[in-house]
Amino acid sequence: KQEVTQIPAALSVPEGENLVLNCSFTDSAIYNLQWFRQDPGKGLTSLLLIQSSQREQTSGRLNASLDKSSGRSTLYIAASQPGDSATYLCAPCSNFGNEKLTFGTGTRLTIIP
Amino acid sequence: EPEVTQTPSHQVTQMGQEVILRCVPISNHLYFYWYRQILGQKVEFLVSFYNNEISEKSEIFDDQFSVERPDGSNFTLKIRSTKLEDSAMYFCASSGVTDLDNEKLFFGSGTQLSVL
């Protein structure tokens, strides 16, 4: 059974800093891994999807890496802004077709203006 | 930008009552899902639906739960006889524009179900 751990559980940093969020998963037999953002009381927004054959994916100030063999992924946020404040969730997928994502408990990020 | 829409945003019901949560996935998507998040806990997979049938379900998705795509646009989750522990935020999601896709999931903003 896939288990996903995200460290740290919460993080507060001043605006403008670069930061790294960590995700580890126990079953390396995955098809892809997605990073999501969740704002309070809202749904989840997919930020990046890394296929199992890829090592990283970039979108704007976000860069996600994947080391499938060691069961790790990181989300790097450059030049953080107050609008980046949210909970970030990591979710590896063990089935083709995006079935059955397993979510971590998330990292609650606060960017201090 | 296309989005997944869910109604209602909040649903309050009495224990033992039936509830139907409604979702309109993105129109050209092929895969549909329900997830839930109990307050303070992880988002949990419930069920996936493809080609008009359930393709995968979790242990949570027991006989009290059912899903349906009654027409070309709606996707519903029915809980036959609600229990207190069914109280959660229920998220609908959709993905995939081709059979071979392995794409991002698009989530709705959720229905907060409160069972009293």
Mean pLDDT to the nearest integer, B49-58: 90
Say yes or no for a CB contact (<8 Å) between B43 and A34. no
Residue A95 vs residues B48, B68, B102: alpha-carbon distances, Å: 11, 22, 9
Mean pLDDT to the nearest integer, B38-67: 92
pLDDT digits (tens, 9 = 90+) for B59-68: 999 999 999 9
Q: How far apart are the first and last CA of chain A?
A: 40
A92 by DSSP, 3-state: which? Answer: strand
| pLDDT score recorded for residue A31 | 86
Question: For residue A42, which of A86, A81, A90 has the smallest C-alpha distance?
Answer: A86
pLDDT at A1 over 90: no
Cα(B64)–Cα(B10) distance, integer angstroms: 20
Residue B11 vs residues B43, B74, B109: alpha-carbon distances, Å: 19, 18, 14
Interface residues of chain B, partner chain A, Cβ below 8 Å: 4, 31, 33, 35, 41-45, 48, 50, 55-56, 58, 91, 93, 95-96, 101-110
| pLDDT score recorded for residue A42 | 80
pLDDT at B99 over 60: no
> Could you tell me the two tokens for B40?
């303070």
Hey, of A46, A99, A103, which one would you mutate to test binding to chain B, going by the most B CBs within 10 A of its CB? A99
- Percentage of chain A exceeding pLDDT 70: 96
pLDDT at B101 over 50: no
Q: Residue B43: which of A45, A97, A103 has the nearest Cβ?
A: A103
pLDDT at A86 over 50: yes
Strand order in the sheet with B5-7: B5-7, B19-24, B75-79, B65-68
Q: Are A62 and A76 in contact (CB under 8 A)?
A: yes
pLDDT at B98 over 70: no
pLDDT at A98 over 60: no
B77 by DSSP, 3-state: which? Answer: strand
Say yes or no for a CB contact (<8 Å) between A31 and B102. yes
